[in-house]
Structure 1
Amino acid sequence: MKEDSIAIAGFHAHIYYEPASRDAAARVREELGARFEVRLGRWHDLPIGPHPKAMYQVAFLPNQFANIVPWLMLNREGLDVLVHPETGDDIADHTEHALWLGEKLELNVEFLRRIRTTQ
């Protein structure tokens, strides 16, 4: 049986950028923070964890999904965005449960596997 959406504790949106698109990423970040109840993560100007490019994370609750994701669809300023649930299975959340806006980037899933084996 498939998992029920009740198992989703929250969502993360990872907003990816390059040095040339950092200003656009800052505008998207500012609007997200002003419009929605979100937790804005730190700027990571270098790849970190499974993420192949610079990014920041935006965390939000399931009841915000219907507002935030459509807004990102229309206002992402050409940036690539990964949206994934938090179900407790980081590998599945970042891969089979993931939603991409823009280009689907190749994540370092091996990083997530290594973390799983050390826990």
Structure 2
Amino acid sequence: MSKGKEESFNEELKIKSYDIHTYYFQSNENSVKEATALRDKLAKDFAKDVENKDLNIYKLWDRPIGPHPYAMWECDFNKPELFARIVPWFQLNHGSLSVLVHPHTDKGSLTDHTDFAIWIGEKVPLITSVL
């Protein structure tokens, strides 16, 4: 071990919730259909979680927004046990779509979207200057 200041693995970092962004190309009909079908499948497969308001599924944005350079749709949740079900679901069902999974922590949006991010499929370069 090196001398001096050492980082602690015991730091308590509170994760408040998770966002999952699914990217698609709004000008490509097949990409729009794939994104819509995946969103519909998520709503069906997690219907009870949606009904209980444990999982929120939002509209398809038909243009880039915020740090997201492509059109996307988003879902979010704040129950840790949902993470263990929903992330593997995206791994197996994302098809050709890129998916960003990131937490909301007290470290801020930039860190949450970059250092703490998990990518499924191709990594999309985010517009980090707006975070």
Same fold (TM over 0.5): yes
Pairing of 1:1-119 with structure 2 (within 5 A): 1-2=8-9, 3-4=11-12, 7-18=14-25, 19-20=28-29, 21-36=31-46, 37=49, 38-61=55-78, 62-88=80-106, 89-112=108-131
C-alpha spacing 1:33/1:107, structure 2 compared with 1 (3 Å):
same
Structure 2: stretches of 5+ with no match in the other structure: 1-7, 50-54
Structure 1: stretches of 5+ with no match in the other structure: 113-119
Show structure 1 runs of 4+ deviating over 4 A. none
For residues 36-76 of structure 1, give each alpha carbon's deviation from its aligned partner in whole angstroms, at most 9, with x where no partner exists. 22201221111000001000111022220110000100101
1 CA distance for matches of 2:73 and 2:12? 28
Report which of the two has the higher share of helix: 1
Identity of aligned residues (%): 41
Q: How many pairs does the alignment contain?
A: 111
TM-score (norm 1): 0.86
Q: Which has the larger radius of gyration?
A: 2
TM-score (norm 2): 0.79
Root mean square deviation, CA, Å: 1.4
